Amino acid sequence: MMHSYFRRLLAVAAVLLLGPLSSVLAASTLRYTLAMPAPQTHYFEVEMALGDFGKPFTDVKMPVWAPGSYLVREFAKNVEGFGAQAGSATLRTEKISKNTWRVYHPKSKNFTVRYRVYAFELSVRTSFIDAAHGYVNGTSVFMYPEGEQKLPSTLLVQPAPGWTQVSTSLKPAAGGAPFSFRAANYDELADSPIEIGNQKILSFEANGTPHTVAMFGTVQYDEARLLRDMKKVCEEAHRVVGQNPLDRYVFIIHNIDRGTGGLEHLFSTTLSVSRTAYSSEAGWKGFLGLVAHEYFHLWNVKRIRPVALGPFNYDQENYTRMLWVSEGGTEYFSNLIMQRAGFLTPDAYLADLSNGIGRVENTPGNKQQSAAESSFDAWIKYYRPNENSGNTGISYYDKGEVIGAVLDLMVINATNGSKSLDDVMRYLYAQYYQKLGRGFTDAEYQDAVAKVAGRRFDEFFRDYVYGTKTLDYATALGYAGLTLSTAPTTTDAVLGANVSTSGGKYTVSSVLRDGSAWQGGLSVGDELLALNGTRLTDDPNKALTGAPAGAKVTLLVSRDGQLKEVSFPLLANAAQRYRIERMASPTEQQQRVLAKWLPVTK
């Protein structure tokens, strides 16, 4: 190690050689302005003012994906009118890759970039603007100077005429103009969605932290109940890890015709909710479940995360085999949070888990793709499904949820009811987020489970997470004095194909692996004209209701414009209905495990 005296001498020499101290310490600056003068045209206008960029050219980049949604969406495709100026002089620019523009500024360190973004996809993953409101998901609107993701920035939002509200988790810029914000780095700017318009602003406090709810859309709901129940969900979610990393939190809620889910962010979330969700008890609980899922992400994913999920590479896919924990595990905990908060009884929770087991075990792709592989291939499979997806893959949400339930019961049983997966999350938070400031590896997750449980479960991970063996539900549920029963969903034989009935035509839309249609030779796209010599006037699945296994069917189909007759025997229905039930006389140990897993709330 160099002696401090010599280090000081070298520092002074460097200042003398390089010029005045102020020039040595000069730092680049970055200011964004977001305008929307004609929202009905669906365009945002972006200005980037770059200061003290000393190289003869600067590359600016648009991300290709939105963290939390694992698909390359090519946001650069929506950019128009890219240009740059230094003062009144127009600078030369050229596009050098699909998402990179080079700005030449050899005579000026200070210059301004301007461009427009077409935004007309209202989802939690993209950006949108029309005459009613604007919504910005940062990676689809804001570019950044290459290599300068750590550079702080300010953002000035200029709402469209008549719009008075800007909702975001970004903090106000010191002494700035109205709707002026600051970001510590590009990651924070990209991870702080913005709602602009005349949305209704609600608020509540949870865990000593102010929470804002920005409600867009005309919708009927009980405001007091909404705030009370959201607060309860947030406080119950906090108890899992027991650490509050927040000083503010923002819910942006889009109430639209058909909701599409949610997306997590560091200090906020965006929820897309059907307007009718609040009008029924089932819809209300569905909404609260979505709140629980996205809110719990502020720990699991945004802070407790696999190593691949931050810092982000915005240019390409960021691969991890741990989405079954990050997403499936979050779904598992969100349902537990709903139960612990009193919105689900223990038996209602068990019924939901039974349905989750059914979704996994009745999906043929569960035998073809592991939870880890499903996580890794999210970029090319989960967000790009086709008619054969159910035969080749499994959702890391669904599989991760049931893995979480089984693993939790194993940990609780191994510790005689003293520890659970909650403790695993607490350890990961303390060890990797707080102490090491990084994500965890696959092996480190297994180590964390072993540390909490007091024993290793390597065989479990090998067979059920990285392999496709059927989970040992019976043993795990047995720890809690529960059993799992199965029964066919129907005793009838089935066609084994889904049929679309749109446009007055009956067209095969998917074929179930190893089912009747699969073995008999029906193909997706076949138009079904007649069944057993009679012209079809309804979905053949309805016409075959009550048919026994072994019954032969003959279908007249149109395939590629040519008539073809297909005959095959019907197979028995393979789908099973799963039901978790309580044992009549559980032991004290089983009662202890169940009480730890599903505590009875008042």
**Could you read off the pLDDT of 374-395 as tens digits, one per residue?**
999 999 999 999 999 999 999 9
SS3 20: coil
| Helix residue spans in 193-280 (DSSP H) | 223-241
Q: How confident is the model at residue 601 (pLDDT cuts 50, 70, 90)?
A: confident
Tell me, yes or no, whether 260 lies in a domain.
no
Q: Are residues 406 and 466 in the same domain?
A: yes
Give the whole-angstrom CA distance, residue 33 versus residue 45: 8
User: Which pLDDT tens digit goes with each residue over 509-533?
Assistant: 999 999 999 999 999 999 999 999 9
Place of tokens 């139960």: 339
CATH code for position 563: 2.30.42.10
482 by Cβ neighbours in 10 Å (0-12 / 13-18 / 19+) ranks as buried
- pLDDT tens digits, one per residue of 31-82: 999 999 999 999 999 999 999 999 999 999 999 999 999 999 999 999 999 9
What confidence score (pLDDT) does residue 176 get? 75
Can you give the pLDDT at residue 26?
A: 59
Same domain? 40 vs 110: yes
Cα angle vertex 67, ends 62, 68, to 5°?
150
Distances (CA, A) of 68 to 124, 401, 579: 10, 18, 33
Instruction: Please indicate, yes or no, whether residues 475 and 529 belong to a single structural domain of this protein.
Output: no
Q: What is the mean pLDDT of the chain?
A: 94
Which pLDDT value is given to residue 502? 87
- For residue 600, what pLDDT is reported? 85
Number of domains in the chain: 3
Domain assignment of residue 245, yes or no: no
pLDDT at 453: 98
Domain enclosing residue 528, as ranges: 493-572
Q: How many CA atoms lie within 13 A of 74 on its CB side?
A: 3
Do 424 and 309 share a structural domain?
yes
Give the per-residue pLDDT at 397.
98
Shared domain for 360 and 396, answered yes or no, is: yes
Residue 75 maps to which CATH number? Answer: 2.60.40.3650
The CA distances from residue 595 to 136, 362, 463, 583, 590, in Å, are 44, 30, 28, 14, 9
- Helices 223-241 and 421-428: crossing angle in degrees, nearest 10, is 80
Q: Are residues 546 and 590 located together in one domain of the fold?
A: no
- What is the tens place of the pLDDT at every residue in 282-301? 999 999 999 999 999 999 99
Shared domain check, 56 and 187: yes
Residues 499 and 459 in one domain: no
pLDDT at 21 over 60: no
| Residue 24 reports pLDDT greater than 80 | no
Residue 333 and residue 189 in one domain = no
Which CA distances in Å does 212 have to 34, 253, 269? Answer: 22, 11, 11
Domain boundary among 178, 198, 218: 198
pTM over 0.85, yes/no: yes
Q: What is the pLDDT of residue 602?
A: 59
Are 312 and 421 in the same domain?
A: yes
Give per-residue pLDDT as tens, 176-202: 789 999 999 999 999 999 999 999 999
CATH of the domain at 601: 1.10.390.10
Q: What is the mean pLDDT of residues 130-147?
A: 98
Residue 304 counted as domain residue: yes
- Taking only the tens place, the pLDDT of each residue in 208-263 is 999 999 999 999 999 999 999 999 999 999 999 999 999 999 999 999 999 999 99
Whether residue 309 lies inside any domain: the answer is yes
